[in-house]
Amino acid sequence: MIDKLNQTFINSPIQFNQERIDQLTRYELTDKFQMHYHGDGAIKKRRKIEVLVKSENSRHKPKIHSSAFSLMSSDNIYLNTPLESFSKLEKIQYYPNSVNGLMGVYEVVS
């Protein structure tokens, strides 16, 4: 996969350094975020955050980026619900079940 990416982007290689990562992921807490919710539908198994070692579950704590918690505490999260001829925009609090399901057993990283 990496070889294919390197061949595809031969004239503008992807640089994995802190400056480039910051350019791609930086946001301000004053920015407005719009999310589209697909619904729970028929839930067979909720997504679960796990740490695998050699494809096996481990007892290592998952690492959650601090930006996830910034979004969870933000007042600028909106749900965008498309209707027949328009979209409805509603202010929401973002609490992903996968993070809440960890019951505080995780490590916050920056």
List, for residues 44-76, the tens digit of each pLDDT value. 666 778 898 988 989 899 999 888 888 888 888
pLDDT band (50, 70, 90) for residue 84: confident
In whole numbers, what is the pLDDT of the chain averaged over residues?
A: 79
pLDDT of 105 over the 80 cut = yes
Q: Could you tell me how many helices (H) and strands (E) the chain has, helices first?
A: 4, 7
Per-residue confidence (pLDDT) for residue 44, from 0 to 100: 63
Largest separation between any pair of C-alpha atoms in the chain? 49
Long-range own/partner contacts, residues 86-91 (CB < 8 A, 24 or more apart): 89/34
Beta strand 56-57 pairing with 107-109: unpaired
In this prediction the pTM is 0.56
